[in-house]
Amino acid sequence: MDSTDDVINLIHLADRSGTGGQSVSVRILGRYQPGILTGHDFLDCEIVINAESVNGNFAVTLLPEDLEDWEGALAALESGRFATWLASGRTPSMKFKPDGGGGLWVSVYDEPSSGVTVTLPLFVPPTWVTQQRELLARAREVYPREVVETSPGAYEWRRAHDV
């Protein structure tokens, strides 16, 4: 699939029903440069924050490595450790800090653009890491890697047997 008309979530963290109603999502809007080898596998996304006192959107372009890094961050979070994601400085970064009592502090820091930091406490369900892994799997299904780097700076379309 080259693109989709439906926006899908790569990340969706929200308060459990009956709590504050706050959420943080990373929504995939489509491929950044569909059909262009050097930009086809990049994803055009937005980080969306919804809270009682603030709502915000931050544009972000994700590289294939960013999805791998998110998988690593989920492994750390699953074991109850702090995790940072998108810390390269080219995009807003996200920090996740489990508090041990069913809560999760999520911070979005827009260093490269506005300098704004938003931190939300979320009361996530116990299955939240599993839910995030399912969203990651869905994102990879809808937007598979279709370009391969054959040598430094040389790209070609991935053939079916390369997958």
Cα–Cα distance, 93 to 103 (Å, whole number): 20
CATH numbers and ranges of domains, the chain: 8-162 (2.30.31)
Cα–Cα distance, 67 to 111 (Å, whole number): 20
Report pTM.
0.90
DSSP 80-139: T--EEE-TTSSS-EEEEEE-SSSEEEEEEE-TTTT--EEEEEEE--TTHHHHHHHHHHHH
pLDDT single digits (tens) 103-141: 999 999 999 889 999 999 999 999 999 999 999 999 999
Pairing assessment for the beta strands 154-157 and 147-151 based on DSSP bridges: antiparallel
pLDDT single digits (tens) 13-51: 999 876 678 999 999 999 999 999 999 999 999 999 999
Tracing tokens 């827009």 back to the chain, one arrives at 110
